[in-house]
């Protein structure tokens, strides 16, 4: 290429800037990453607030770390709060992950037991607590109560 032509090309290149729209994709990706990071940190703060200040109706989704089958998630629902204890009931099914609504036949048993508030914090620290649900829709089925029935083992058929 002739030197005269090279000089003109350099002159044209220096006169024309890089188009800003070429960076729009990178800017959108950066903004998306920032948004999701912020959203994740806000959700973590909110969930920690739920753990530290439980309310009646909260549902804890827990993962049984010792269960070998894929159906290792179970739920506890706070039915009452007594000083430093939570009165909870367990649901009738186990699930293979975090759920947003119960199966139609599922619900929480009418049998309750007490756990200390610190036990929930222990679940969180050990990784067993996966999510805390609060302010859920009644359509999700978390309000459903099932009667626990014990089968009589003395009955012979």
Q: Cβ neighbours of residue 81 under 8 Å, at least 6 residues apart?
A: 54, 55, 56, 87
| Cα dihedral 106, 112, 118, 123 in deg (nearest 10) | -30
Q: Where are the domains of the chain?
A: 1-53, 55-148
pLDDT value of position 155: 60
Give the position of tokens 């010792």: 66
| Distance between CA atoms of residues 127 and 82, nearest Å | 25
State the pTM of this model.
0.75
Structure tokens at 152: 């009589």
pLDDT value of position 154: 67
Q: Are 89 and 79 in contact (CB under 8 A)?
A: yes
Q: Are 148 and 85 in contact (CB under 8 A)?
A: no
Q: Are 86 and 120 in contact (CB under 8 A)?
A: yes
Name the residue among 129, 126, 67, 69 with its Cα closest to residue 98. 129
| DSSP 8-state symbol, 91 | B
Which residues of the chain register pLDDT less than 70?
152-157
Q: Cβ neighbours of residue 104 under 8 Å, at least 6 residues apart?
A: 141
């Amino acid at each position: 290429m002739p030197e005269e032509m090279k000089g003109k090309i350099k002159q044209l290149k220096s006169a024309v800037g890089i188009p800003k729209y070429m960076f729009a994709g990178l800017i959108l990706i950066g903004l998306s990453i920032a948004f999701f990071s912020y959203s994740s940190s806000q959700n973590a703060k909110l969930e920690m607030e739920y753990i530290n200040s439980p309310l009646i109706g909260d549902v804890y989704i827990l993962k049984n770390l010792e269960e070998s089958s894929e159906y290792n998630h179970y739920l506890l629902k706070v039915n009452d709060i007594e000083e430093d204890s939570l009165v909870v009931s367990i649901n009738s099914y186990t699930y293979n992950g975090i759920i947003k609504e119960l199966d139609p036949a599922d619900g929480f048993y009418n049998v309750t037991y007490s756990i200390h508030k610190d036990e929930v914090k222990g679940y969180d620290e050990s990784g067993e607590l996966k999510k805390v649900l609060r302010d859920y829709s009644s359509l999700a089925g978390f309000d459903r109560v099932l009667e626990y029935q014990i089968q009589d083992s003395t009955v012979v058929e």
